[in-house]
Structure 1
Amino acid sequence: MEDRSKIDSIVGSGVAGNDSRPDDKNVDKIREILFGGQMRDYDQRFELLEEKLAQQFQSLQQDVRRDLDALEDFARMEVERLGESQQKEKQERAEALETVAGSVDLLGKEIERKFAEVENSLLRDGSDLRGALHDARKALSDDLKGVRTEVLDLIQRENSALQAGKVSRTEMSGLLNDLAVRLSDDGAGSD
């Protein structure tokens, strides 16, 4: 009722001035009386909604940042673990290759010693056998050199295969960084 009397007084003052329409101030006052409470209510609701959206966005942003940090830490640990594993495997292979090379050298020395024993024995038996023994020794020595060369070539091929097969830390961190960026873009794009 009070609003009605305010409207009547505003409209009446506009009519009293022999003006057929109320002026703009009166229209604004009427609009304020009729819709002012609702507009203030809507403004408050919009402000609350904006605050909630800002809080949710900030929370989501913190969650994404935390998840990306966790992913980055995990990726860094995995790269370090893979690097350590490859280094350990490389060291184990190098030790195994050294052991094989040492065994080949020992075998060669043992063969040389046996040849020397046989040669001494044959020298006692006759000079005819000396030439045959020398030829056999040379052939076996050549065979041993061939076997040693094959073993060293095999060792070199295995080492090269290991070097070619391993993923560098830089490549792995680049791949994981790209993955983190994509996940970050997907998270930001779904907002």
Structure 2
Amino acid sequence: MTTKTSTAEFDVLHALKVKGLASDEALAALTGLASDTLTATVDALRESGFVLRREGGRISGTMITPAGREEYERLAAEFVLGDSERVAVGTFHEAFGPINGDFKRICSAWQVRPDETPNDHTDPDYDASVVAELGEVHERVSAALDAVGADIPRLGRYSARLSVALQKVRDGDTAAFARPMYDSYHDIWMELHQDLLLTSGRERGAGDE
């Protein structure tokens, strides 16, 4: 039997499985939990030894422990997808494959120009052309996320996060495209991909790299 408490705990543990080390802000974005509920849930999980808090250094946040991974698997067995959810995830997965392929190509173009020289972002016309392609991919993935979000809100929430990152890129923040650990568009995309694999129960294959 699932309860509001176990649902919130699953949501937090799932988010940490997806992201690894997560700030409170990131956990709120991933789980959709209200601030007070999120704080109480993280505190309870920490007291149970399922998560730990990392403070100081370059990055602070919450991360899952080995015991937390075991608890996640136990809870995951209770949160089995219903028929409509399985259909929605399957439909999204089919749509995501080609979009993901295009996204990887665009990321390569952002990093390396057609003449195989590194893109140093000193050519605004070239960068604008790549960002325009990213915008087209964004429209496609957002439509697919909005559709699956009707059945699985957690996946639908990625659309807004990707939109924020895209706007930062359009506003001139080149790091918001693909810089690691920056909540960049690429960071969020990788989290979406990992979330999809966890949700669907699929193993990562060659096409998922």
TM-score bracket, normalised by the shorter chain, equals: under 0.3
Give the structure-1-normalised TM-score: 0.26
Larger helix proportion, structure 1 or 2? 1
Instruction: From the CA coordinates, give the structure whose radius of gyration is larger.
Output: 1
Instruction: Give the number of the structure with larger relative contact order, counting CA–CA contacts within 8 Å between residues 6 or more apart.
Output: 1
